[in-house]
Chains A and B, each alone.
Chain A
Amino acid sequence: MTQTLLPVALANYVGLSAVIFFIGVAGVMLRRNPLVMLMSIELMWNAANLLFLAFARAWMNDAGHIFAFLVITVAAAEAAIGLAIVVAVFRTARNVDVDEVALMKG
């Protein structure tokens, strides 16, 4: 593989990333299980990461790699905190349907 050209045109990467991102959006909006919603959010993080790396490769710039690294870190922190919230809510409410959880309702 040469270093000069992308394997396919850049717009293909952007389109693939958009499709994966909106599958994640649909997952967050359609599923009521908080774990599946968190996994859909992970899908969206990864779509953004794919875009960072594709553009970094297209412009031969390392900054995209650094930013993708930062995004992976933030995604890991987000997953840990989200799962902790799920566990805490399940402990108090014994319920996993996000429509039924109204602990923070004023």
Chain B
Amino acid sequence: MILFWGLAIVLIGSAVWVVAAKKPVHSVVGLLLHFAALAILYLSLSAEFLAVVQIIVYSGAILVLFLFVIALLSSGVAPFSMGPNRMPKAAVPAAILALIALGLLVYGVSRGVPAHPVPIAAAAPAGPVGAPGVFGSVADFGRALFTTNLLPFEITAFILMVAVVGVVLLAGEAVPYVPSRKRARRAEREMREAALRGGERQ
């Protein structure tokens, strides 16, 4: 219980830090703290595999991707590392709407959710954490993933493939297609002459 409230404070504080930080790099650090605290919270919910996946995928892959993009864009002409700090025109109405929606959600939640839905007698038997048969163990998760839920797993693979193709299409360099060696030489010569002309002009 103390763990939950401590983690809740860390989670909310780091989320506010992510949103309010002036530099995107500081936002990334706040997000790292957020993901780490969330992984501990997942452990306390006996979702061991998801906690490890949270650390590996989010902290290991997605945050590094963010850092790469920040570094890539910062090396250009604009002082990207600062980022635009101007508030949008609709800031005040947007904040009011968000607060109203949050209040409605918390109000509805506080009325309708039972504290402990499963009666104690019907719950799974207790055991050492991670042993097969105990709820949330890696063995049970794997069995459920590869037998009952095989189709979502395959859809996951498809989604990742589509994402990779899309990223290559979006961010890859547009290389002109050159069919033969002769035309390749001509294209290269034209490119060099164009570069020379550009150099003369400057």
Chain A residues proximal to chain B, CB less than 8 Å? 1-12, 14-16, 18-20, 22-27, 29-33, 35-36, 38-40, 42-43, 46, 49-50, 53-54, 56-60, 62-63, 65-70, 72-81, 83-88, 90, 94-97, 99
Contact = CB atoms under 8 A, between A and B. Distances in A.
Contacts of B53: 69, 72
Per CB-CB distance, the 4 closest pairs between chain A and chain B, nearest first, are A77-B163, A27-B19, A33-B83, A84-B170
Q: Is the interface of B mostly helix, strand, loop or mixed?
A: helix
Contact of A58 (B95, B116, B134, B167): B116
Contacts of B132: none
16 contacts: A3-B126, A4-B120, A8-B4, A9-B115, A14-B113, A33-B83, A36-B83, A39-B27, A50-B38, A54-B45, A57-B135, A60-B118, A73-B159, A85-B170, A96-B83, A97-B86
A84 B106 contact: no
A70 to B, nearest CB: 5
Given A5-B120, A46-B34, A65-B136, A96 B73 contact: yes
Contacts of B90: 29
A18 B106 contact: yes
A83 B114 CA distance: 40
Contact of B98 (A25, A72, A76): A25
A23 B102 CA distance: 10
Contacts of B199: none
A35 to B, nearest CB: 5
B112 to A, nearest CB: 9
A85 B167 CA distance: 8
Given A7-B45, A80-B164, 12 more contacts: A1-B44, A4-B123, A11-B115, A19-B12, A22-B98, A27-B18, A32-B86, A38-B66, A57-B136, A87-B171, A90-B76, A94-B77
Interface stretch (B55-63, B175-183, B186-194): B55-63
B198 interface: no
